[in-house]
Each structure stands twice: as C-alpha cells, then as structure tokens.
Structure 1
C-alpha cells in the first residue's frame, strides 16, 4: 500500500515547520531532520557503506512514541485488503526506510492537526494505491 498525501497540505506543513515559531514546530523540524539524515545513511548502508540499522529502528520507535498520530496511518484502509497481491519481500533496511518515511509524513500530519489545517487523516490523504 502506498499513501499519497495532499501536496498543498505537505507544503503548508513544511512552511509551518520552517517558521519554528513554537516548541512543537521546532521539535518537528528537528525530528524530520533526523529522519532525513537516517534515511540517507540507510541508503548508503544498502550500497555497502556502514550504518547502524539498530539506530534507525530506535529513531522510528522514539518518533512513534512521541507522535502517536502516526498509528492512524498504519490503520488507514488499503484497497489492497480486497485482494491478495504478490508482494516482493523487502530488505530490513527498506522496511525501516518505509517506516521512517511514514514517520516523516506523520509528523507533518501532527503539525497540521495541531494548527487546525486538518480534522483527521482523511483530510491529509490524497489517495491510496
């Protein structure tokens, strides 16, 4: 399942985070920065350069504890539940990268929710494929 988020709202979330006008926005910006750094490091790891995948998993766990709204993305209905597609197994690094990408958008959703730009996840999701 791939969730595509509303581009206009992701732009608003980025803009809100960049203003760093509140503790929540500063923290969101720091957490997103850590996620981006970790994803880049894991991609290097996949290409043969060393990086601790355990640290990436720890970051994912911490982010998910601090932003419980990310769980709503995990529970978002998927059209794939209607049929059983053949899915190529992911590497451990790919799986962690996907989780961190979801965390990235979950943080954006959290900021939009707190600022009143969305009421629920349906407002932020463009479509699911």
Structure 2
C-alpha cells in the first residue's frame, strides 16, 4: 500500500491530519467507547491523538479507495507474466485476448513496470 501524500485524513470530531504525517495507528482496547477508537501517532507531536474512527477506516483514507484496485492490477500483472508465450499466443488467437497488451496497459495505469518476462517492448516484441 502506498500512502497518498498531502491528503487530509479525518480522525473524527473535527480533527484532521495529513496522511503522510501519520506514523502509527494503535487500536484502543481499554476505555474504548464513543469517540475513542484509535490512537494516532503523528510526526512532530509528543502525544498521540485520540480518533473516533477505527484504524482500518483511517488507513483506507490514507491510501485511498483506489489502492485495492491497484493491488489487484499488480497481482493480475504478475499472473500474466507467468503464462507461457505459447499459451498466450493460443489465448490471443482463440479468444482475442492479448495478455501482453493487457499487462502493458496495467503498467501504464499503475505507473510501474511489471515483470519484464512476457511484456512487449515499444515495438510490440516480447521481452
């Protein structure tokens, strides 16, 4: 997961912290109740802030809802890289699904290069 920098994260009750300044989240187990769900440790503050939201909800705000989709795309890209070229060719001709092109589009969307094996270069040749 990647934290989206400069995103304001609501802690509840009018408290907000920048996502990239949150250092740690600790669920409150004792004296937990309304408005007391999570201790939020923030860079530059000696004491943690008490948040009225759960740590999972705070993390989702830090990384954005799109993070799950990106993780799924990365997993798909890894799986595509494991398919042998002959099978990719067969899938392409039988089903019209170009796995190499799909892997390239995933790289474009995520901004990250996937596994090199089985990925086409700029000219369309497989690496």
Q: TM-score, normalised by structure 2?
A: 0.30
* Structure of higher CA gyration radius: 2
Higher helix share goes to which structure?
A: 1
Q: TM-score, normalised by structure 1?
A: 0.30
